[in-house]
Structure 1
C-alpha cells in the first residue's frame, strides 16, 4: 500500500514543514535498530518516497524564479540538483518544505504511511557569543524538552550516536561559536539524522567541510543509499556529483537536463546550464 501527499499550489500553508515537524511527535528510534552488513552499511529495509515535481512554477513580483519545473526523484536514490547561483535550486527546496507558494503540482508518494523528512541547511546563522554547546544545539533541534534542562533520556543515546557518526562525539561540550565552519556543518548533518528520516534534503552540505568532513559525508551518503533513504542533494561540486549521485537534474529557472551523471555532466550541457540565459532545454 502506498501513500501520496501533494503539496498544494497557490498556498502558503507549511505542508512540508508540518511533515518535518513529525520528528518531534514520534518516539525516538536508535540508529542501531537495523543490523549492519559485513561492509558496514545498513541493509535495504524500506524505501523512501518518490518525489514528483510537475510544472512547478514560482514568480515573485515580476521575476520568474521557477518555470514549469518537471522531474522525478526515484525512491531510495541519491538525486543531485545542480545549477548556477540564483537558478532556483534553494527556492525549489523551499516549495518542497512548504515555505513558499507555487503553481503546478508537487507530490510525495510514500511506500507506506507518510514518513519523516530530514533537512540539512547550507549554513547555520547564529550569535557566536551565545553560551550554546553542541549538546544544547542538538537538544534544541531534536527534542521537545527545553534545551536548558539538558538532554532528554529518550534522545540522549540517539544524539550521542549521531554525533559519533559525524566525528563530533568528543566536542559535545564545546560552544557552537567556537567550532570551525566544517565542524558546525558536521553538527548540522548529525541533527538531520534524528529521528531517522525516510527523505533527506541536503542544501550544499559539503560547502564548509574539510577533507576529513568530506570523507564523513561520503560515508553517510553510502549509508543512506544502503538504507533506502531518498536523498535530494543540492551541490556545486560537480566532481563529487559525478562520483556519488545516481541521477542529476540541471536547473536554471527551468530543467535543462535530467539524466545519469555520465550523460548529464557533459561540457555542452554544463555550458548551457551555467549560461546567464539558458538557450534550450536538453
Structure 2
C-alpha cells in the first residue's frame, strides 16, 4: 500500500490584499518524497497550510488514493512559552488525542508515543518539561508526534532547522524508512544538497510555480531560490 497523491489545482491565496499564492498547480506522486523550495516569503508554508485546511483559498486541493491513517505534520519550530508546565509525554498525548482529554492517553497510544520518542532519540525525555528542551530536542519531539501513529502522508516544514548533524542524519533515516513503507512525503526544505540527494521531485515556488520536475534539475533555479 502507498500513501495518497496530492494535487493542487490552480490554487490562489490573498491575505490582506497581498497575493501570497497565484494559480499554483502541481502534483505530488503517491509514495514519493517531494520538496518545496523557494525564497523566504514565497508561499511554501502557506501552500502547506492550504493543504491542511487552515487557509481560505481559491482553486482545488485533493488527495488521490486512500488515506488510511492520520497524516503527520511537523511545523516550523513554534515559539512556545517555556514556562508552560507541560512535559514531553503531555505534549505527545495532547497532539495525538483521539478521545476526551480528561481520560488521558490510551495504553496503546502511550506505547506508540514511547516508541516514536525512542525512534527520534528522545526516549529519556518523556518526563522533562517541553519548554526546558533545546531547539533541536523540541524539533525531535515534534517529529516523534508526527509519526505516532504511523502516517501514510507526512508533511515537513523545515524539520532539520536548528538541529545538529546527528539530528539531521536521524531525520534522513526516518524519511528513508517511511518512503520504504510507501508513505507520501511533502517537505519544505532550504538545504539544496539534501534535496538533490533525497527527493524524487521538486517544486520551486515564489507565489507561483517557477519549476516543477525532477530534483536533479534544481541547480538551474539557484539564483531564484537564494
Q: Indicate the TM-score class for this superposition, using the shorter chain for normalisation.
A: over 0.9
Shift of 1:248: 0.8
* Paired position in structure 2 for 1:48: 3
Contact 1:249–1:255 (CA under 8 A) maintained in structure 2: yes
Aligned-partner SS, 1:157: helix
Seen in structure 2, the aligned counterparts of structure 1 residues 181 and 273 have a Cα distance that, compared at 3 Å, is closer
- Gapped runs of 5+ residues in structure 2? none
Please tell me whether residue 226 in structure 1 is matched to residue 216 in structure 2. no
2:133 equivalent among 179, 184, 190: 179
* TM-score after normalising by structure 2: 0.94
2:45 match: secondary structure: helix
Q: Which residue of structure 2 aligns with residue 119 of structure 1?
A: 73
- RMSD of the alignment, in Å? 1.6
Q: Is the 8 A contact 1:57 1:104 kept in 2?
A: yes
**1:102-141 equivalence runs, <5 A:** 102-110=57-65, 112=66, 115-141=69-95
Q: What is the DSSP-based 3-state SS (H/G/I as helix, E as strand, rest coil) of the residue aligned with 1:156?
A: helix
Pick from 70, 75, 87: which aligns with 2:25?
A: 70
Residue pairs, 1:20-59, within 5 angstroms: 46-59=1-14
Q: How does 1:160-171 map to 2 (within 5 A)?
A: 160-171=114-125
How far is 1:211 from its partner? 1.1
TM-aligned CA deviation for residue 151 of structure 1: 4.2
Residues 185-242 of structure 1: CA deviation (Å, up to 9, x unaligned): 0000000012211111111101121111111101101011001000000011111111
Query: Unaligned stretches of 5+ in structure 1?
Result: 1-45, 275-282
CA contact 1:136–1:150 (8 Å) conserved in 2:
no
TM-score (norm 1): 0.76
1:89 aligns with 2:41: no
Number of aligned residue pairs: give it.
225
Aligned to 2:222: 270
- Give the distance between the partners of 1:245 and 1:90, measured in 2 at CA: 18
Q: Which of 1 and 2 has higher RCO (CA within 8 Å, sep 6+)?
A: 2
- Return the offset for 1:114: 5.3
